[in-house]
Amino acid sequence: MTVITDALCPFCGCLCDDLTIVVEDNKITDVKQACKLGTAKIMGHHRIKAPMMRKDKNSEFTEVSYEEAINEAAKILSNSKRPLLYGWASSVCEAHKKGILLAEELGAIIDNTATVCHAPSTLAVHEKGLPSATLGQIKNRADVIVFWGSNPVHAHPRHMGRYSVFAKGLFTEKGRKGRKVIVVDVRKTETANMADEFVQVQQGSDYLVVSALRSILSGHADVVPDTVGGVPKEQLIKIVEVLKTAKFVSIFFGMGLTQSKSMYKNIDNAISLTFELNSFTKCVITPMRGHYNVTGFGQVCAWETGYATAVDFARGAPYYNPGETAANDVLLRKETDAAMIIAGDAGAHFPADSVRHLARIPVVQIDPYWNPTTEVSNVVIPVAICGVEVAGTAYRMDGVSLRMRKMVEPAHPPDTEILEKITERVRELRGE
């Protein structure tokens, strides 16, 4: 029996690094400290056993060797005029680097799961920057916590305990008792139930509500109508007072902002509110990132290409224009003629029309699990699970990088190895 302490959790953007894992005979038998999400992933699920291929999408898969699958994957990609390499969030930065190199060599588009999550936040960062802080800064200092369009009880279960609502630090010895918690959402979630102040916004009206708060903050309460986006003016005035008189405000936002009407403009506005609050107090804003290493892909892609996501290498040099080069854009325009989906599940998480196009073109899947993407794939290459069976780098939602540990020996090769081999084979096929 081996006990691994201070292990990292490969589930959400909290990237908790205090797990204890018990391993017996190369099997994980116990996970301590992890939440329900982390435990479920680490304890494991049914896996794809061996590489599989099929002629057309309606026939059954047959098991093949890794060599055959890699060869077919390389053929599909090198024959493609407009390949899309999508996913990446459930893998480590070491794989991202290899993926970007492959995209470069293929002249492909590379995009990650942020495209259906926080990519609009990146657009807002282009406009306004991002005044943020590490999570420990918030734990030690924040006396007002705002969750806007995010539901950590469900999506980031340990966030409130480790970093925000309940966390105790040097200047926050009282933990929850010393803090005010404001939750802004369209429905009364479990997170909202824990709030001191719940602000119920009419769906799609977040932008208006942020604007009203900014107006009140800048001394123009007189122009604010009696209700804004379903929120009474008195409540908005009260909230501004709480924010202004705080010692340290931390705003966390989720897909309630990025996916609602106005999309990146919601975040743009929220960042402006953050900026302006700094005339009165200290205020920072942080996106609640979903996958444990969706942040890492953005970091690697930025330092390798200059852009965080949705990079098109068709010109030999990086080109970036979400709305044109993001995964759903090229699928909906039926521009993509082959796709490699890795460490992300477009089949489950893209709109039906995008999946319909995937069902029409050759698709290579690299993933440990059978999922909707498998259903539309031609070649399926199972790999080891990063952060459980493979060590590597991941970036927490606040941009802090950590090294994931290997808990058990894998039965499958790591995705880095598969990517390397596909790249080599692509070069051979192209006579390079």
Partner 1 sequence: MTLNAILITGRTINQGATIENKTSLDYQEATAYCELNPKDIGILGISPGSCVSVTTDHGDVVVKLKENKGNPDGLAFIPMGPWANAVVNPDTRGCGMPGFKGIPSRIEPTEKKVLSMKELIARYK
Partner 2 sequence: MELIIKNGTVYDPVKGINGDKTDISIRDGKIVDKVSGKATVIDAAGRLVMAGGVDAHSHIAGAKVNVGRIMRPEDTRSGIKPRTKITRPFTGYTVPNVYAMGYRYAQMGYTTVFEAAQAIMKARHTHEELEEIPIIDKGALTLFGSNWPTMDFVREKDMDKLAAYVAWGLLASRGFGVKCVNPGGGEMWGFGKNVNGLDDVVPNFDVTPKEIIVSLMKANEMLGLPHSLHLHCNNLGKPGNYKTTIASMELANQVKASKDRQVMHVTHLTFNSWGGTNWGDFESKADEVANYLNNNDNVTGDMGQLIWGSATTMTADGPVQYANAKLLHAKWGNGDVELEDASGVVPIYYVKQISVHAIMWAIGLELALLTKDPYKMLLTTDHPNGGPFVNYPEVIALLMSNKKRQEEIKTLHEAVHARTKIPEIERELDFGEIAIMTRAGTAKVLGLLDTKGHLGVGADADISIYDIKPDQIDPSVEHAKIKSAFSSAAYVIKGGQVVVKDGQITATPPGRTYWVDASVPRQHTNEMMKDIVKKFKNYYSMQLANYMVQDEYVTHAQVVKAGAIPVEVN
- Write out the binding residues for partner 1, residues 48-67 only, by CB under 8 A: 57-58
Structure tokens of 300?
């690697």
Candidate residues 293, 328, 336, 365; the one interacting with partner 1 per rule CB under 8 A: 328
> What is the three-class DSSP state of 14?
coil
Decide whether 7 or 310 has the Cβ nearer to partner 1.
Answer: 310
Angle of helix 206-217 relative to helix 233-244, nearest 10 degrees, comes to: 60
Per-residue interface string for the shown chain with partner 2, residues 158-197, x marking contact by CB under 8 A:
----xx----xxxx--------------------------
Decide whether 125 or 283 has the Cβ nearer to partner 1.
Answer: 125
The values of phi and psi at residue 62, to 5°, are -120, 145
Angle of helix 66-79 relative to helix 415-429, nearest 10 degrees, comes to: 60
CA dihedral 214, 219, 222, 228 (to 10 degrees): 20
Piece of 211-219, 271-279, 368-376, 398-406 that binds partner 1 (CB under 8 A): 368-376
| Under 8 Å between Cβ of 304 and 95 | no
> What is the three-class DSSP state of 232?
strand
d(CA 267, CA 359): 34
Decide whether 179 or 357 has the Cβ nearer to partner 1.
Answer: 357
Which of partner 1, partner 2, none has residue 411 at its interface (CB below 5 to 8 Å by kind)?
Answer: none
> What is the three-class DSSP state of 12?
strand
User: Per CB under 8 A, does 11 bind partner 2?
Assistant: no
d(CA 292, CA 246): 31
Nearest distance in Å: CB 392, partner 1: 18
User: Per CB under 8 A, does 238 bind partner 1?
Assistant: no
Full DSSP string of 162-220? HTSSS---TT-TTGGGG-EEEEEESS--HHHHT-SEEEEPPTT-HHHHHHHHHHHHTT-
Q: Where are the alpha helices (DSSP H) in 44-92?
A: 66-79
User: Per CB under 8 A, does 113 bind partner 1?
Assistant: no
User: Per CB under 8 A, does 18 bind partner 2?
Assistant: yes
Candidate residues 166, 292, 297, 320; the one interacting with partner 2 per rule CB under 8 A: 320
Which of partner 2, partner 1, none has residue 93 at its interface (CB below 5 to 8 Å by kind)?
Answer: partner 2
Q: How far is CA 304 from CA 73, 99, 426, in A?
A: 24, 11, 21
User: Per CB under 8 A, does 131 bind partner 2?
Assistant: yes
| Under 8 Å between Cβ of 383 and 420 | no
d(CA 298, CA 275): 23
- Tell me which DSSP letter residue 397 carries: T
| Under 8 Å between Cβ of 126 and 426 | no
Contacts of 119 by beta carbon, 8 Å cutoff, 6+ apart = 258, 309, 310, 322, 326
Nearest distance in Å: CB 157, partner 1: 7
Nearest distance in Å: CB 376, partner 1: 6
> What is the three-class DSSP state of 400?
coil
Candidate residues 8, 9, 31, 37; the one interacting with partner 1 per rule CB under 8 A: 37
Looking up tokens 């008189």 gives 245
Is 201 buried (19+), middle (13-18) or exposed (0-12) by CB count in 10 A?
Answer: buried
User: Per CB under 8 A, does 281 bind partner 2?
Assistant: yes
Which of partner 1, partner 2, none has residue 140 at its interface (CB below 5 to 8 Å by kind)?
Answer: partner 2
Piece of 40-48, 121-129, 228-236, 345-353 that binds partner 2 (CB under 8 A): 121-129
- Write out the binding residues for partner 1, residues 148-167 only, by CB under 8 A: 151, 153-155, 157
Candidate residues 45, 49, 81, 430; the one interacting with partner 1 per rule CB under 8 A: 45
Q: How many residues bind partner 1 (CB under 8 A)?
A: 68
User: Per CB under 8 A, does 245 bind partner 2?
Assistant: no
Nearest distance in Å: CB 72, partner 1: 19
Enumerate binding residues for partner 1 (CB under 8 A): 11-12, 36-37, 40-41, 45-46, 57-58, 115-116, 119-120, 123, 151, 153-155, 157, 186-189, 192-193, 200, 202-204, 255-256, 258-261, 263-264, 290, 310, 322-323, 325-329, 332, 345, 347-356, 358-359, 368-372, 375-376
Enumerate binding residues for partner 2 (CB under 8 A): 5-6, 8, 17-18, 93, 97, 101, 104, 122, 125-137, 139-141, 162-163, 168-171, 247-248, 275, 278-279, 281-282, 284, 298-300, 302-308, 313, 315-318, 320, 393, 395, 399-403
